[in-house]
Amino acid sequence: MYAQGETPSAADLAFVLSKLNRLLDTWNSDKLYVYSTNFAQYTMISGKNPQTIGKGFAVSSVSLTSNVAQIVGVPSLPFFQVGDSVTSLNIGTIGGVNFNQTAVLVTSVSADGTTIQFALTAANVVSTPATGVIIPASTPATQAPDFPIQTTRPTKIVNAQILLNYPPQPVRVPMRIVDADWWANQRVPTIQTTLPTHLYYEPEFPNGLLYFWPVPQIAYPVELNTWTNLAQLGQFDSFNLPPGYEDAITYTLAESICPSFGRPLDGTLAAFAQKSRAMIQSLNSASPKITTADLGIPSQSSDQRGRADFNWKTGNLAG
Q: Residue ranges of the alpha helices (H) in 9-91?
A: 10-27
What pLDDT does residue 76 have?
56
- Same domain, residue pair 123 and 44: no
3 against 306, higher pLDDT: 3
Question: Mind listing the pLDDT tens digit for each residue in 295-309?
Answer: 655 555 555 555 666
Domain that holds residue 260: 10-31+230-284
- Same domain, residue pair 61 and 171: no
- Same domain, residue pair 159 and 125: no
- Lowest-confidence segment of 5-14, 31-40, 138-147, 305-314 by average pLDDT: 305-314
Q: For the chain, how big is the Rg over CA atoms in Å?
A: 26
- Name every residue whose Cβ is closer than 8 Å to that of residue 218 and which is 6 or more positions away in sequence: 44, 46, 194, 195
- Same domain, residue pair 72 and 202: no
- Same domain, residue pair 46 and 67: no
- Name every residue whose Cβ is closer than 8 Å to that of residue 303 and which is 6 or more positions away in sequence: 309
- Name every residue whose Cβ is closer than 8 Å to that of residue 132 and which is 6 or more positions away in sequence: 59, 88, 89, 90, 91, 92, 99, 100
The answer to whether residue 313 is domain-embedded is no
Q: Are 209 and 19 in contact (CB under 8 A)?
A: no
The answer to whether residue 305 is domain-embedded is no
The answer to whether residue 300 is domain-embedded is no
Structurally, the chain folds into a number of domains equal to 3
What pLDDT does residue 191 have?
95
What pLDDT does residue 152 have?
85
- Same domain, residue pair 25 and 41: no
Q: What is the mean pLDDT of the chain?
A: 89
The answer to whether residue 290 is domain-embedded is no
Q: Are 288 and 297 in contact (CB under 8 A)?
A: no
- Same domain, residue pair 133 and 82: yes
Q: What share of the chain is helix, strand, coil (3-state, %, to 5)?
A: 20, 30, 45
Question: Mind listing the pLDDT tens digit for each residue in 244-286?
Answer: 999 999 999 999 999 999 999 999 999 999 999 999 999 998 7
What pLDDT does residue 64 have?
96
The answer to whether residue 133 is domain-embedded is yes
Q: How far apart are CA 319 and CA 317, in angstroms?
A: 7
Q: Are 175 and 196 in contact (CB under 8 A)?
A: yes
The answer to whether residue 108 is domain-embedded is yes
What pLDDT does residue 314 have?
72
- pTM score: 0.79
Q: Is 108 exposed, middle or buried (0-12, 13-18, 19+ CB in 10 A)?
A: exposed
The answer to whether residue 311 is domain-embedded is no
- Same domain, residue pair 49 and 62: no
Domain boundary among 81, 114, 144: 144
Question: Mind listing the pLDDT tens digit for each residue in 69-118?
Answer: 999 998 655 578 889 999 999 999 999 999 999 999 999 999 888 999 99
Domain boundary among 185, 201, 227: 227
Question: What's the gap between Cα 110 and its chain centre?
Answer: 22
Banded pLDDT at 150 (limits 50, 70, 90) = confident
Report the CATH number that the domain containing residue 137 is assigned in CATH.
2.40.30
- Same domain, residue pair 210 and 244: no
- Same domain, residue pair 61 and 98: yes
